[in-house]
């Protein structure tokens, strides 16, 4: 599933295609791929796309009059640009024709993703970010976890939940926890200020490295130019259950935390 680095890479590669482009037509192939299903897409015609934004794993495209589309890639979603004469591949659910002759196509075989329409950017932020998501992971500081000293729950589940910090998923949580030596099962209220500092540093380091490699492609993920990311080769624990820890040589353990397969080293990542 695309997480912050992959969505940011899609945004970066989409931006040169869409900024300043005029929307010629918007087509919804599957009605259940859009929220609300009867959104007035026709009003986007003739509008100029002026900005792209990302918050957590959500990607926004804003027009000159404020109308905004929010894209969520889900498990297998791809947002890519193609010359409009190329045939539509299967599972293309949403298409934006631009005056440049390019099309933005959203493909999503598993359909866990979707497109949301908002009449204004303010409305999009109010519905999608405020009160829904924690701080974007790229702006995370130790102070954002101050409330954990009296909070319930275990570390991995809280990091996946998006309300404390937005943008992390299974891959980068496992990688960051291995890097800072914290068990995914640690109760968050037991973390010392020093642990929190180390956790924040590890999250930033893992995200920064992945961003510079263009994200992680396990299977489906491609950026808006159709290219895979190169970070999979740098994964230390994700997908390596049962294989030796790169730090201590012990076999990495697998367990299910918050419904997600979790890989960690019992020796290097102690419960607190």
User: Would you say 61 or 263 has its CB closer to Zn ion?
Assistant: 263
Whether 2 is catalytic: yes
When asked if residue 263 is in the footprint of Zn ion (CB under 5 A), the reply is no
When asked if residue 267 is in the footprint of Zn ion (CB under 5 A), the reply is yes
When asked if residue 245 is in the footprint of Zn ion (CB under 5 A), the reply is yes
Smallest distance, Zn ion to C-beta of residue 236, A? 10
When asked if residue 248 is in the footprint of Zn ion (CB under 5 A), the reply is yes
Whether 58 is catalytic: no
Q: State the CB neighbour count (10 A cutoff) for residue 123.
A: 14
User: Would you say 122 or 250 has its CB closer to Zn ion?
Assistant: 250
Piece of the chain touching Zn ion by CB under 5 A; list 81-89, 103-111, 142-150, 250-258: 250-258
Smallest distance, Zn ion to C-beta of residue 250, A? 5
User: Would you say 70 or 268 has its CB closer to Zn ion?
Assistant: 268
For Zn ion, which residue of 247, 253, 260, 272 counts as binding (CB under 5 A)?
A: 247
Whether 57 is catalytic: yes
- Which one of the listed residues 11, 57, 58, 78 is annotated catalytic? 57
When asked if residue 123 is in the footprint of Zn ion (CB under 5 A), the reply is no
- Which one of the listed residues 12, 201, 260, 272 is annotated catalytic? 260
Based on the number of CB atoms within 10 Å of its own CB, is 255 exposed (0-12), middle (13-18) or buried (19 or more)?
middle
When asked if residue 268 is in the footprint of Zn ion (CB under 5 A), the reply is yes
Closest residue to Zn ion, based on beta-carbon distance: 245
Smallest distance, Zn ion to C-beta of residue 208, A? 23
Catalytic residue ranges: 2-3, 57, 260
For Zn ion, the binding residues (CB under 5 A) are: 245, 247-248, 250, 265, 267-268
């Amino acid at each position: 599933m695309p997480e912050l680095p992959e969505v940011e890479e899609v945004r970066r590669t989409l931006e040169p295609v869409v900024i300043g482009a005029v929307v010629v037509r918007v087509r919804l192939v599957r009605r259940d791929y859009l929220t609300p299903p009867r959104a007035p897409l026709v009003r986007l015609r003739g509008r100029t796309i002026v900005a792209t934004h990302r918050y957590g794993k959500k990607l926004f495209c804003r027009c000159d009059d404020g109308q905004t589309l929010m894209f969520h890639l889900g498990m297998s979603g791809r947002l890519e640009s193609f010359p409009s004469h190329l045939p539509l591949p299967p599972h293309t659910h949403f298409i934006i024709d631009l005056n440049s002759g390019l099309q933005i196509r959203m493909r999503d075989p598993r359909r866990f993703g979707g497109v949301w329409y908002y009449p204004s950017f303010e409305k999009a932020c109010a519905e999608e970010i405020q009160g829904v998501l924690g701080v974007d992971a790229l702006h995370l500081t130790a102070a954002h976890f101050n409330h954990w000293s009296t909070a319930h729950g275990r570390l991995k589940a809280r990091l996946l939940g998006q309300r404390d910090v937005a943008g992390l998923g299974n891959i980068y949580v496992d990688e960051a926890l291995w890097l800072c030596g914290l068990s995914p099962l640690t109760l968050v209220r037991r973390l010392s200020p020093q642990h929190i500092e180390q956790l924040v540093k590890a999250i930033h380091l893992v995200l920064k490295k992945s961003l510079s490699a263009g994200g992680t492609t396990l299977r489906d993920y491609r950026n808006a130019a159709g290219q895979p990311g190169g970070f999979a080769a740098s994964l230390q624990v994700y997908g390596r259950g049962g294989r030796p820890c790169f730090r201590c040589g012990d076999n990495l353990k697998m367990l299910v935390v918050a419904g997600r397969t979790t890989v960690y080293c019992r020796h290097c990542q102690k419960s607190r």
